[in-house]
Chains A and B, each alone.
Chain A
Amino acid sequence: MKMAALCSEFGDLVQIKKQLISVISLCKERGLLHSAKWASELAFALDRLPKDELPPSPPFTEDDAQDLDALTLAKSYFDLKEYDRAAYFLKGCCSQKAYFLYMYSRYLSGEKKKDDETVDSLGPLEKGQVRNEALRELRVELSKKHIAGELDGFTLYLYGVVLRKLDLLKEAVEVFVEAIHSLPLHWGAWLELSNLVTNIEMLKSLSLPDCWIKDFFMAHMYTELQMIKEALQKYQNLIEAGFSKSTYIISQIAVAYHNIRDIDQALALFNELREQDPYRIDNMDTFSNLLYVKSMKPELSYLAHNLVEIDKYRVETCCVIGNYYSLRSQHEKAALYFQRALKLNPRCLGAWTLMGHEYMEMKNTSAAIQAYRHAIEVNKRDYRAWYGLGQTYEILKMPFYCLYYYRKAHQLRPNDSRMLVALGESYEKLSQQVEAKKCYWRAYSVGDVEKMALLKLAKLHEQLNESDDAAQCYMLYIQDIFSCGEQLEHAEVSTALRYLGQYYFKNKLYDEASLCAQRCCDYNDAREEGKALLRQISQVRDQIETPSADLFAPLSNNNTPVRRVSPLNLISFTP
């Protein structure tokens, strides 16, 4: 096709801009609003073209001229959501554009009727049965044309959508790939395809056109598949290539940072986004999640009020308000707003999970379980819901039962330390120390967010009388805590220092022991013990120094265990 030929090298921003401008008009003519929006946003981020550089409008064929009146009429009906009427006047038109609009109106008409009928279907069980009746007819007609090879990029996209709605996923993937090949600039087709790709192997097996838009798709896919590092790299490349002003990319990067819980980065990006695009509502629920995690009440309150002013009947707005109330510990109201979000869009994923969290706060475990289950029904891969279910059962004191749920969550997020720590805790409660140790160690290895895994591991070793391992873990813990720089509320440095002091003392490493003991004195809860240890050390030193100093050196060499912990250098980290 013509468009495929236009796909040139990535670097040429002017070319890209030209392509975008032409595809915007194509999408608009066909009523594909979201794709037009995406392309327009991207085009806006690029530099303005001089007047003579603007791409010419596509050539006007004989078919187009013939259908012009009918098409104009139908398009205006279509814009007013009178789909059946539009379809009626388009019947018999022969141009590709008219044909697409004709089929698309029929499809949308079916969808609209389906939504209307869900409200008063004949019975509750029939709800799932309500179907877009037009789908099957559309499929028959489109498949005939498809076999004949008469479909253009847009109609192929529509055919793919129809197939997907009919749950014929394999065929749908093939058709979407075909649609992308014939019209690579149509973002809607890429987006539909991304919903059907379930794993990285499948992604690799797809043969995609080599176009600059593919990079956007890959970055989007990596984010979906939780391969955040790769996604960020892709987005960074795109920014460097000249898309630095694109709000789309900024929001995507912010979401990616949110997914790996790099909160500060994400917050900064969202703030930037709001400066550039103050009336934006998309992705604001993610922003509110971040504010919530950081307990930034005033900012969250401002955001909530601002969004209500823009549009209070948006799912995102309701989620933001829910978060706002939740942060103010008004959990009933929070649950109410999440419910409202669900009424606006029952397939809204986050709201079910968040509502579950609210019920958990209200100690209404059974309702929480229901909410989480609903979330899982909407999306089986929602790890937060699985994790929430695990937590619920943990609260109900069923550590074995919750293992299943934590395991599920862990499967979905193999590199998230929180699931691993939760798994470890459950195993510890079941006195399966070996498994617990493995979990904690793994949690530390994948990068512990809450800095708790090492402490727990150390305590476990302490319980099992594996003092060398325990000391090593405490040491790593202290280094970890001080290296991250910020103050953590639950930090138990004093516990670690106390244990290390005793450990060195037992192994007759008095210098290190006294260092630890001195450090202990910095903390209120360990001060007395630190002082006592210092006294003991000085006593023992007095005793040793009386016989001979020479004796001490060989003794200490022989008596220390083989896996001796290297002496602690605390001077560089001051608490």
Chain B
Amino acid sequence: MMTNGVVHANVFGIKDWVTPYKISVLALLYDMTATKITLPERRRLNKLILPLQQGPDLTLGQFLKTVEECCPQAAYAVKLRLHEMADGELKDMEYFFSTLPTPFTAFDSEAYKTSVVGLFMRHMLLAYNKLSFSQVYKLYKSLQHYYHSHYAKPADGQDTVGDRMDKEELDGPLHESELRGPLSQKQAEYFLARQAYLLKNDENKALKPAALQEELNNMLKFNPDFAEAHYLNYLNSMRVQDIFLSAHSLLHYFDRLILSGNEGKSNGDEGYGRSLRYAALNLASLHCRFGHYQQADLALQEAIRIAQESNDHVCLQHCLSWLYTLEQMRGSDSTVLTEDSVKMAAHFCLPYLASLGIQSLVQQGATQGKTAHKLMDALKDTDILHWKHSLSELIEISLAQTTSIWRMYGKSTMALQQAQLLLNMSSLEPVNFGVQQNNTEAFAVALCHLAELHAEQGLYSAVSEILLHLKEQFPPHSQHAKLWMLCDLKIQFERHMNEGKYHLAEPLVTAISALNKTEGLYRKAQVLKALNRSTEAYSILQRLQAHCEKTKCTEVVIRVMLSTAELHWESSGFSTALPLLLQALALARQHHLQSLASESILHLAFTQLMLGVPEQALSVLHEAIEPVLAHGSVMDKGRALLLTARCQMAVAGFRPNGHGRAGTNLHLAVLAVDTLKEATAYFSKLSCKERLRDVHFLQAQLHHALGQTSQRNKSAMLFRLLDQELQSPAPPVSMRL
């Protein structure tokens, strides 16, 4: 057969043909109609039929075992029938085919022509009838081989062991592929569809990359015209980040597709041009995945140009959304482009692209300090759209985005709720092959947030469980694995810092910077600060601030400012820290970053305390204490309470050097005792020993002032124990928050 002058491999247009395995399936179907089987057994067999028909050829042993599990009686009958044929003569097989119930006559049986079974039987009969003389004979020979190879195996113990061993050894590499035989076109299609679906939805259930590659190579060897196999090859190579092979397969796929596209459409040019456009677009996305932004840009421009020439608005729209994604990835502002894209998509009735654009806008808006209600409104509106068109993927993204936004604003409870909502939601997508999609970026993001939220509350066993799940769901080579890797590192880092194990935190910094440079630099500055290498820390912070102001990373800018202020404290430059803190506070408020705002207030209060205006500090603290207790992490809560207690003590008349004038303000002192007790609970949760030591010291002082000797002694003892354990000399009562 020739299309467009090119010879096709599939000469007769047969998609399916008879193999020994198919004959066994036919025998099974035949016996099912003929013999009496109990109802539960029949039900089990019925469930088996479709996979048997569609799946790749099994060996007789495998086949019989599967059937036996459902109905031993049927398995025996099939075995008997195959035995008749294989040990008999060619006429026995011919007889079998002639006695098969023809689907056209059997009106009331399950094998009627329109049923699944009937269709299969018709396919087989047709294929059988088309066989030539020598082909029939060959089929019979292979049936005999198929049958006998099953029975020969267990019996071969005695005869010429050495000879056989020799042969087995030599045939090692050939054996596997030979046993299974080639796939028919139908089987191949089914295989490809299944693997592609699994790759998209749950990679772990798909074949391993190497195994899949081997399968595909096999398939392509038998039929190089099978374009879809090249595409799956491309997906598979993307999995292992192999740019050469993936580019090669992608281009090969489209080269092949061009012809079939021509075939399918009546107006040849349209189908053909279409695949060209999408070929360029796919190439752009490939380069984008590998981070070759310039190449991606060029490919994208090409796609846009061809799409424009042929007036393909849908393709253009896709290009446009890739364009703004690309801009975003490069780190430049693409708000205008995105807005345009949304407008155009809405105009051409492409809801998916429109709301994808809106989501991207929301993301940009969030980082640029748009007001919360606007963002939430936009998300809500798109949500309505999603539910209307059942775009489950976008619903997931939307939920993950809400989670992120709430976290950014510092509302941990809301974030927690949204993340749980996403994880507990049942997807709208149909469940195929027993797999539900749960490997999208949205899930990864939500799970990472969940892990971090748990870490903040000091629930580290829960965290490790979540991370374990993430590791399973998103294996290290997969696309979204970097998300949890960074999250994992960050949590470990925080934990070590809180526990004062700076030497453990330091090596993590390099790993973090490999995944995210800005974050890495910030963490490095923190470690250096903790190790009292202030000048180095300061220079890094300065650089980081300049960089982040340029890239509009407000969150990091504020955090850098706070860290710089802390550095100023160490040199007792409390008054120089003040303007920085105020600036940070203003920024945080402007961007609605509540957790950072309360953090700034804590810093401010501490500065004021140190500057000797504890009353002022206390009143400022009141503003922050509520949100911190409601949403903050355990560490924040403890720190806030410790600071409050210190302010209270200062107001009550205690000097920072510890020699309090007893009895000035007993009421406040009692309050401070309570506050400290609460703080102890938080710090001990995190086993933050340095701070616990401070707390015990202050407690001892207070109890001393209040004249409660036994409690004082107890606190003093605790202090002494911790002090001995920590070894490092205590800093003059805590020059830090």
| Contact across chains for B280 and A366 when beta carbons are under 8 A apart | no
A128 CA to B4 CA, complexed, in Å: 24
Residues of A within 8 A of B134 (CB): 120
Residue interface mask B224-255, A partner, CB < 8 A = 1: 10000000000000000000000100011001
CB distance from B273 to the nearest CB of A (A): 9
Q: Choose one: A117, A122, A339; the contact of B7 (CB below 8 Å).
A: A339
| Contact across chains for A366 and B262 when beta carbons are under 8 A apart | yes
8 Å CB interface, A368-392 against B: 369-371, 373-374, 377, 389
A231 CA to B693 CA, complexed, in Å: 84
Residue interface mask A421-439, B partner, CB < 8 A = 1: 0000000001010000000
A139 CA to B10 CA, complexed, in Å: 32
| Contact across chains for A377 and B223 when beta carbons are under 8 A apart | no
Residues of A within 8 A of B280 (CB): 398, 400-401
CB distance from B241 to the nearest CB of A (A): 18
Residue A359 CB within 8 A of the other chain: yes
A123 CA to B183 CA, complexed, in Å: 10
Residue B299 CB within 8 A of the other chain: yes
Answer whether A124 and B12 are a contact pair too, CB < 8 Å, given A369-B259, A397-B306.
Answer: yes
| Contact across chains for B279 and A401 when beta carbons are under 8 A apart | yes
Residues of B within 8 A of A335 (CB): 5
Residue A184 CB within 8 A of the other chain: no
Residues of A within 8 A of B283 (CB): 400-401
| Contact across chains for A367 and B19 when beta carbons are under 8 A apart | no
Residues of B within 8 A of A124 (CB): 9-12, 14, 185, 223
CB distance from B266 to the nearest CB of A (A): 15
Q: Choose one: A123, A342, A367, A397; the contact of B305 (CB below 8 Å).
A: A397
Residue interface mask A154-167, B partner, CB < 8 A = 1: 00000000000010
Residues of A within 8 A of B167 (CB): 140
| Contact across chains for B222 and A127 when beta carbons are under 8 A apart | yes
Q: Which label, helix, strand, loop or mixed, suits the secondary structure of the A interface?
A: helix
Residue B685 CB within 8 A of the other chain: no
- Name the CB-closest residue of B to A168: B173
Residues of B within 8 A of A398 (CB): 276, 280, 302, 306
CB distance from B540 to the nearest CB of A (A): 35
Residue A206 CB within 8 A of the other chain: no
Residues of A within 8 A of B174 (CB): 136, 166
8 Å CB interface, A211-244 against B: none
- Name the CB-closest residue of A to B139: A122
Residue B437 CB within 8 A of the other chain: no
- Name the CB-closest residue of B to A342: B7
A237 CA to B476 CA, complexed, in Å: 59
A127 CA to B222 CA, complexed, in Å: 6
A374 CA to B134 CA, complexed, in Å: 30
8 Å CB interface, A409-431 against B: 430
Residue B272 CB within 8 A of the other chain: yes
How many chain-B residues does the 8 Å CB contact rule pick out? 56
Residue B400 CB within 8 A of the other chain: no
Residue B135 CB within 8 A of the other chain: yes
- Name the CB-closest residue of A to B10: A124
Residue A125 CB within 8 A of the other chain: yes
A401 CA to B272 CA, complexed, in Å: 16
Residue interface mask A315-351, B partner, CB < 8 A = 1: 0000000000000000000010001001000000000
- Name the CB-closest residue of A to B305: A397
| Contact across chains for A367 and B223 when beta carbons are under 8 A apart | no
A432 CA to B167 CA, complexed, in Å: 60
Residue B132 CB within 8 A of the other chain: yes
Most buried by A among B5, B142, B305: B5
Residues of A within 8 A of B223 (CB): 124-125, 127-128
Residue interface mask B160-173, A partner, CB < 8 A = 1: 00000011001100
How many chain-A residues does the 8 Å CB contact rule pick out? 41
Residues of B within 8 A of A120 (CB): 132, 134-135
Residues of B within 8 A of A309 (CB): none
A62 CA to B52 CA, complexed, in Å: 62
Residue A404 CB within 8 A of the other chain: yes
CB distance from B21 to the nearest CB of A (A): 12
| Contact across chains for B222 and A126 when beta carbons are under 8 A apart | yes
Q: Choose one: B5, B12, B16, B181; the contact of A129 (CB below 8 Å).
A: B181
| Contact across chains for B259 and A367 when beta carbons are under 8 A apart | yes
A120 CA to B138 CA, complexed, in Å: 10
CB distance from A23 to the nearest CB of B (A): 32
Residues of B within 8 A of A400 (CB): 280, 283, 295, 298-299, 301-302
Residues of A within 8 A of B135 (CB): 120-122
Residue A399 CB within 8 A of the other chain: yes
Residues of A within 8 A of B182 (CB): 123, 125-126, 128-129
CB distance from B365 to the nearest CB of A (A): 33
A126 CA to B11 CA, complexed, in Å: 12
- Name the CB-closest residue of B to A377: B224
A389 CA to B301 CA, complexed, in Å: 21
CB distance from A83 to the nearest CB of B (A): 18
- Name the CB-closest residue of A to B9: A124
Q: Choose one: A117, A123, A136, A401; the contact of B299 (CB below 8 Å).
A: A401
Residue B188 CB within 8 A of the other chain: yes
- Name the CB-closest residue of A to B226: A125
Residue B18 CB within 8 A of the other chain: yes
Answer whether A404 and B131 are a contact pair too, CB < 8 Å, given A122-B17, A371-B6, A377-B224.
Answer: no
Residue B258 CB within 8 A of the other chain: yes
8 Å CB interface, B269-297 against A: 272, 276, 279-280, 283, 295
A370 CA to B16 CA, complexed, in Å: 25
8 Å CB interface, B145-188 against A: 166-167, 170-171, 174, 181-185, 188
Residues of B within 8 A of A432 (CB): 298
Residue A449 CB within 8 A of the other chain: no
Residues of B within 8 A of A401 (CB): 251, 279-280, 283, 299, 302
Residue A364 CB within 8 A of the other chain: yes
Q: Choose one: A143, A144, A367, A404; the contact of B4 (CB below 8 Å).
A: A367
Residue B221 CB within 8 A of the other chain: yes
A27 CA to B400 CA, complexed, in Å: 76
Residues of A within 8 A of B181 (CB): 129
Residues of B within 8 A of A123 (CB): 14, 16-17, 182, 184
A47 CA to B262 CA, complexed, in Å: 62
Residue A570 CB within 8 A of the other chain: no
| Contact across chains for A430 and B298 when beta carbons are under 8 A apart | yes
Most buried by B among A125, A136, A374: A125
Residues of B within 8 A of A370 (CB): 4, 6, 255-256, 258-259
| Contact across chains for A366 and B258 when beta carbons are under 8 A apart | yes
Residue A396 CB within 8 A of the other chain: yes
A117 CA to B135 CA, complexed, in Å: 9
| Contact across chains for B9 and A127 when beta carbons are under 8 A apart | yes
Residue interface mask A110-143, B partner, CB < 8 A = 1: 0000000100111111111100000010011001
Residues of A within 8 A of B16 (CB): 123
Residues of A within 8 A of B224 (CB): 377
A335 CA to B4 CA, complexed, in Å: 11
| Contact across chains for A122 and B5 when beta carbons are under 8 A apart | no
Smallest CB-CB A-B distances: 8 pairs = A123-B17, A128-B222, A370-B6, A367-B4, A400-B298, A400-B302, A124-B10, A366-B258
8 additional A-B residue pairs with CB within 8 Å, beyond A400-B301, A400-B302: A123-B184, A136-B171, A364-B5, A366-B258, A366-B272, A370-B255, A373-B252, A401-B283
Interface residue ranges, A against B (CB under 8 Å): 117, 120-129, 136, 139-140, 143-144, 166, 335, 339, 342, 359, 364, 366-367, 369-371, 373-374, 377, 389, 396-401, 404-405, 430, 432
Chain A to chain B contacts (Cβ below 8 Å), 19 pairs: A120-B132, A123-B16, A123-B184, A124-B11, A124-B223, A125-B182, A126-B182, A128-B223, A140-B166, A359-B5, A369-B255, A369-B259, A373-B252, A373-B255, A373-B256, A398-B280, A401-B279, A401-B299, A404-B247
Interface residue ranges, B against A (CB under 8 Å): 4-7, 9-12, 14, 16-19, 131-132, 134-135, 138-139, 142, 166-167, 170-171, 174, 181-185, 188, 221-224, 247, 251-252, 255-256, 258-259, 262, 272, 276, 279-280, 283, 295, 298-299, 301-302, 305-306, 309
